[in-house]
């Protein structure tokens, strides 16, 4: 599976795009930067969007994607999220106030988007990817709003994206029992001096990331995303010494990874 990092940050600035990954050119995981990183032609190839949670750094460009590609494909774009996430996305993003309700445009029989409710730990498949069918399993994590990470499996390789989370358990258990795991993408948001902010918003610092990674008993690369833009330099220097004894590196925006 090819994973192109459209945005790897937990906030927005001219050099930091918000969280969004493109898989095989067709599936997007989180929607923080789709329309900021992809050309219109590339946006037209996107047929599926997985949404981990409603925070804007994961959803902000979803309305603009739908508007940009509206009417160019016979089938609607599929948006997948857990029940409580789905309700909030519809209520807050496609409510005819902040943006039109594209589930009724051009009409409800042939909508531009279609929502799919996903159930925790029940795998489902998305077909039509160049690298083969993608099996997706949502796993709840511990964030300030309902949030799921994802296990993404294609052609005998799995990666895990934890999405935003504070200290959590289940997704590490899943990681430890995923036989074909190739990499984990997890978060680090605030420097250690802002531990109280991280704790109250259910995010990680380098110190709490190190505690989380002690739960991961797998020798796979750990790729870190979600630095908050004001603290990028501080986080890079703290991370360099926070976790030892395993392969850990920053997830690089605009790079394409093959798993």
Residue 191 as a binder of Zn ion (CB under 5 A): the answer is: no
Q: Which of residues 161-190 bind Zn ion (CB under 5 A)?
A: 164
Is residue 192 within 8 Å of 207, Cβ to Cβ?
Answer: yes
Residue 57 as a binder of Zn ion (CB under 5 A): the answer is: yes
Max CA distance (Å), the chain: 55
Q: How far is the CB of 112 from Zn ion (least distance, A)?
A: 26
DSSP for residue 247: -
Q: Which residues contact 244 (CB under 8 A, 6 or more apart)?
A: none
Say how far apart CA 113 and CA 126 lie, in whole Å: 16
Q: How far is the CB of 217 from Zn ion (least distance, A)?
A: 26
Q: How far is the CB of 192 from Zn ion (least distance, A)?
A: 19
Q: How far is the CB of 129 from Zn ion (least distance, A)?
A: 25
Work out the angle at residue 18's Cα, subtended by the Cα atoms of residues 28 and 36, and round it to the nearest 5 degrees. Answer: 70
Q: Which of residues 137-166 bind Zn ion (CB under 5 A)?
A: 164
> What are the helix and strand counts (H, E) for the chain?
9, 14
- 47 vs 55 by CB, closer to Zn ion: 55
Gap between the terminal Cα atoms of the chain: 5
Contact letters for Zn ion, residues 9-38 (x by CB under 5 A): -x----------------------------
By CB under 5 A, which span of 6-14, 84-92, 123-131, 207-215 interacts with Zn ion?
Answer: 6-14
Say how far apart CA 3 and CA 163 lie, in whole Å: 15
Q: Which of residues 71-130 bind Zn ion (CB under 5 A)?
A: none
- 24 vs 57 by CB, closer to Zn ion: 57
Q: Tell me which residues touch Zn ion (CB under 5 A).
A: 10, 55, 57, 164
């Amino acid at each position: 599976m090819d994973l192109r990092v459209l945005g790897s940050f937990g906030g927005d600035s001219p050099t930091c795009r918000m969280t969004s990954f493109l898989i095989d050119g067709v599936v997007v995981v989180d929607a923080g930067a789709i329309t900021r990183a992809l050309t219109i032609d590339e946006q037209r190839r996107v047929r599926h969007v997985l949404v981990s949670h409603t925070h804007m750094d994961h959803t902000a460009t979803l309305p603009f994607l739908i508007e940009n590609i509206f009417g160019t494909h016979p089938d609607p774009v599929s948006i997948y999220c857990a029940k409580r996430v789905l309700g909030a996305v519809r209520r807050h993003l496609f409510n005819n106030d902040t943006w039109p309700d594209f589930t009724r445009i051009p009409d409800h029989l042939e909508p531009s988007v279609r929502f799919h409710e996903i159930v925790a730990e029940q795998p489902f498949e998305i077909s039509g990817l160049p690298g083969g069918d993608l099996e997706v399993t949502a796993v709840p994590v511990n964030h300030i709003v309902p949030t799921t990470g994802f296990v993404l499996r294609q052609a005998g390789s799995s990666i895990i994206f934890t999405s935003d989370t504070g200290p959590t358990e289940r997704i590490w258990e899943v990681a430890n029992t995923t036989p074909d795991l190739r990499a984990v993408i997890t978060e680090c948001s605030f420097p250690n001096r802002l531990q109280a902010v991280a704790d109250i918003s259910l995010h990680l610092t380098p110190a709490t990331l190190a505690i989380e990674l002690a739960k991961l008993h797998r020798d796979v690369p750990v790729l870190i995303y979600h630095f908050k833009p004001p603290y990028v330099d501080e986080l890079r220097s703290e991370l360099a010494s926070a976790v030892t004894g395993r392969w850990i590196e920053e997830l690089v925006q605009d790079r394409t990874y093959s798993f």
